[in-house]
Amino acid sequence: MSEENNVELTAEAAGETHAAPSETPAEAGPAAWASIAGRIEALEQAANGLAETVAGLARSQAIMQGAMRQLAVKVGEAATSLAPPRIYSLYMRLLMLYDMVSPPPAGFSEDAQRLAAILANQIEEFLAGSGFERIRADGEPFDPAIHRSVDFVTAEDPTQAGRVVAIRRNGFRSGAQVLRPAEVTLARAEVEPAKTALPNSEAQISTKNPEQERN
């Protein structure tokens, strides 16, 4: 693979940044958001480089770790200046990145899968630092407030009907606040075919023709 295709490691992405003059919350908004977006772009570059050469993997890991550290710092600094929609957008973008690497794609090499797992874990830790935890779902009773069913299977054990049997995509919550519901496969009871009573043969078949019945 050519050097141009490798993920470029910058001193800033690796965490080697110099202290900048502090900004007031009113001034920090656009600049803080641009800085946060830059860290996420670095993470996305790292994720895209996971399937590359060994050198690319090492470089991707360095970018991941540096960008996640800087992302946590920048979000903390900008917490008072970013409006809720911007914060929500940040979380959604991180979750899209999380979905790229969790679970690691089957086509990834062993090293790439290991790094993908590291990145997923770092995103979970970042969300945990913001108060969000992964929603428990597997084997749990279905709760429409935190789960979203995307598939169904017939329950082999009738007592399992109404329970989650597989997680299709992880969800996250902070107390009663749901950042994203968990997408799940739900077990349901076997549906028996409806039994229709056969009509009385004497009522169904008349020996008289319509003309005879009218007379």
pLDDT in tens, 88-145: 888 888 898 899 888 888 778 888 888 888 889 989 988 898 889 999 888 899 999 9
Strands (E), 23-143: 133-134
Question: Which H or E run includes 210?
Answer: helix 210-214
Region 169-185 average pLDDT: 93
User: CA torsion angle for 142, 180, 67, 115 (degrees, to 10)?
Assistant: 30
Residue 63 structure tokens: 């970018």
95 versus 74: which is more confidently predicted?
Answer: 95
Residue 180 — pLDDT band, cuts 50, 70, 90?
Answer: very high
Give ∠ CA 142-143-148 in degrees, rounded to 5.
80
In this structure, are residues 101 and 48 in contact, taking their beta carbons and an 8 Å threshold?
Answer: no
**Which pLDDT belongs to residue 138?**
87
Residue 1 — pLDDT band, cuts 50, 70, 90?
Answer: very low
**Which pLDDT belongs to residue 27?**
46
Helix, coil or strand: residue 39: helix
Residue 22 structure tokens: 């502090």
**Which pLDDT belongs to residue 169?**
93
Quote the pTM value. Answer: 0.62
Most confident residue range from 9-18, 114-123, 146-155: 146-155
Looking at every residue in the chain, the average pLDDT score rounds to: 75
**Cis link prior to 104 (omega < 30° from 0)?**
no
Helix, coil or strand: residue 19: coil
Q: What CA–CA distance (Å, rounded) separates 135 from 178?
A: 9
